Amino acid sequence: MRPTSRRSFLKGALFAAGGIATLSGVGPLVQLAQAQGPRGVPRYYIFAYFSGGWDILVGLDPRDPRQFTNGNLRQTLIQPGYEMLVGTDGRLVDARTGGRFGPYIGDLATHAHRFAVVRGMSMETLTHEVGRRRFITGKPPAGTQARGSSVLTWLAANLGQDEPIPYVAMQTEAYNVDQPNYATALSANSVADMLRALRPANPQLGALEDRQLDAFLAEVGACPDALNSSRWQSAESSRLRARDMVTRGLDRLFDFTAQTPEMERLRGHYGMRANDSTPEAQAAFAAQAICGGVSRCVSIQVAGGLDTHFTDWTTNQGPNQRRGFNALARLIEDLSTREHPGTNTSWLDHTTIVAFSEFSRTPLLNDRGGRDHALTNACLLAGGNIRGGAIIGASSDVGLAPQAIDLETGDLRGVADGGEVVRPEHILQTLLHDAGMDAAADLRVNPVTALLRG
């Protein structure tokens, strides 16, 4: 992707299209936000996107190849194909919690007690843009155009008004059509992009000239015409926020090449060496943004190259997916070892991680040696109030079809008996419910309370 200039980067952050609102009521910036979830528990959110359509058979929803063989394909309509994969012996991974995962689950399996998996979801689309945007907003797009604001925008608007950058979206889409301007995601293509936005541009004005310019802009912003213009006041508030963002030295949190003990620790833990857009760098960025008191919500892309319609399924799908799962494992480990200030708990106890993709791959290989798009999906949630070790729902043993569940228990239950097939909006409504914001985004579904500890 083409790097963005610092000017266009900040312009996109401060004046993003769709629903510019006034900033009345925005409190002073503080290092750690005071907005709380239910019961006074601070809540933070990280969305990790697997781009292109992951294969749930090799990760979150596998099948035993001894039972699902090429000899009974006509009965099962499921072809694991593990013997064709490179870089793995094809064996399934059994977690200590009792869950079973595919051969490319990687290091994430060791954290099964910290995450829950929802299986048997329906995306109701085979189009990349539609599936992705539905998982971001919780609403089926109009054609391919997103409808409504991102759920992370809603959460940032209601919980993150005190953070310097309430919502950061790295290599991911974000939408704001009806929320305050401060909740609009600051978009970046890489950690290096973020550093360019957080550092003063060169050449810099002298201290006197800088104060004079600031005083002039503040005076203009206080004139009668400006005070009567909501757009002008929004721009002035955004200017002050951008100034604060650039001058408080936040870039030090994200310069992973710096020769400091903290950056040395991060480089070693995540296995990264540069301020780039790798899954490892994005995971480290998310941890720093949340734990550093910079952001309430962060979305990152931890895997790409997953649209494997051809024989690249045997070489690319699994390793790319495993790299993303490993980055998530490092993120979970990092958050679990950092103490949340004043709570005697870890940052993971306050941060909900959602890993998702726009849909999955077909259970049968096509005639080109790959897999096409499939409606059935799965997702993973970790940290926060998520019930670790839970496996919610299941896909059918015939063609991996979605199955309805009891939203309160997670057990299979037919639609005629009150069960519901889980869709992205159910997952997002669960986050809103946990944050005490059930009616916020008008998703018109009930939460999957089986995912929550209480």
Helix (H, G, I), strand (E, B), or coil: what is residue 148? coil
Minimal CA–CA distance to 62: which of 39, 78, 42, 85? 78
DSSP string covering 281-314: HHHHHHHHHHHTTS-SEEEEEEE------STHII
Q: Mean of the pLDDT values across residues 344-365?
A: 98
Query: For 222-236, 309-323, 371-385, which range has the lowest pLDDT when averaged over its residues?
Result: 222-236
pLDDT at residue 50 tops 90 = yes
Locus of tokens 């003990």:
261
Q: Mean of the pLDDT values across residues 444-450?
A: 98
Determine how β-strand 360-361 pairs with β-strand 373-374: antiparallel
- Band (22; pLDDT cuts 50, 70, 90): very low
CA distance 254 to 289: 8
- Band (234; pLDDT cuts 50, 70, 90): confident
Please give the residue that has the higher pLDDT: either 6 or 339: 339
CA distance 169 to 152: 10
CA distance 397 to 392: 16
Task: Encode pLDDT of 124-137 as tens digits.
Answer: 999 999 999 999 99
The tokens for 166 are 């309430």
pTM: 0.88
- The DSSP bridge partners found for residue 353 are 46, 382
pLDDT at residue 444 tops 80 = yes
**pLDDT recorded at residue 372:** 98
What is the CATH code for 6-451?
3.40.720
CA distance 8 to 5: 5
Minimal CA–CA distance to 162: which of 253, 296, 290, 15? 296
Determine how β-strand 339-340 pairs with β-strand 345-346: antiparallel
Give me the percent of the chain exceeding a pLDDT of 70: 86
- Band (38; pLDDT cuts 50, 70, 90): low
pLDDT at residue 54 tops 90 = yes
**pLDDT recorded at residue 24:** 28
pLDDT at residue 247 tops 70 = no
pLDDT at residue 245 tops 90 = no
What are the start-end ranges of the E strands in 233-275?
A: none
**pLDDT recorded at residue 226:** 79
- The DSSP bridge partners found for residue 381 are 116, 354
Task: Encode pLDDT of 178-196 as tens digits.
Answer: 999 999 999 999 999 999 9
SS3 percent helix, strand, coil of the chain, rounded to 5, is 40, 15, 50
Determine how β-strand 345-346 pairs with β-strand 376-382: unpaired
| H/E run at residue 410 | none
- Band (39; pLDDT cuts 50, 70, 90): low
pLDDT at residue 383 tops 80 = yes
Are 170 and 11 in contact by the 8 Å Cβ rule? The answer is no
Q: How many other CB atoms are there within 10 angstroms of residue 380's CB atom? A: 20
For 236-265, b/e burial (b = at least 16 CB within 10 A) is bbbebbbeebbeeebbbbbbbeeeeeebee
pLDDT at residue 167 tops 80 = yes
CA distance 212 to 220: 12
CA distance 145 to 28: 35
pLDDT at residue 61 tops 70 = yes
Query: For 14-18, 56-60, 205-209, which range has the lowest pLDDT when averaged over its residues?
Result: 14-18
pLDDT at residue 10 tops 60 = no
CA distance 343 to 42: 10
pLDDT at residue 375 tops 80 = yes
CA distance 76 to 396: 9
| H/E run at residue 360 | strand 360-361
- Band (228; pLDDT cuts 50, 70, 90): confident
Angle between the 191-198 and 6-14 helix axes, to the nearest 10 degrees?
80
One-letter amino acid at 244 equals D
22 sits in the region (left: phi over 0; alpha: psi -120 to 50; else beta) called: beta
Q: Mean of the pLDDT values across residues 235-255?
A: 75
Taken in order 18, 439, 187, 196, the sign of the CA dihedral is positive
Altogether, the residues listed in the chain come to a count of 454
- What are φ and ψ of residue 93, in 5° steps? -110, 120
Supply the mean pLDDT for the chain: 89
* Domain locations in the chain as residue ranges: 6-451
CA distance 447 to 454: 13
Q: Mean of the pLDDT values across residues 319-327?
A: 98
Give me the percent of the chain exceeding a pLDDT of 90: 78
CA distance to 228, 267, 333, 391, per residue, from 346 (Å): 46, 21, 10, 24
What are the start-end ranges of the E strands in 42-159?
A: 44-50, 93-94, 100-101, 115-122
Three-point CA angle 382, 271, 62, nearest 5° = 45
pLDDT at residue 5 tops 70 = no
- Band (25; pLDDT cuts 50, 70, 90): very low
> Which residues, 6+ apart, have CB-to-CB distance to 226 below 8 Å?
220, 232, 233, 236
pLDDT at residue 28 tops 80 = no
**pLDDT recorded at residue 388:** 97
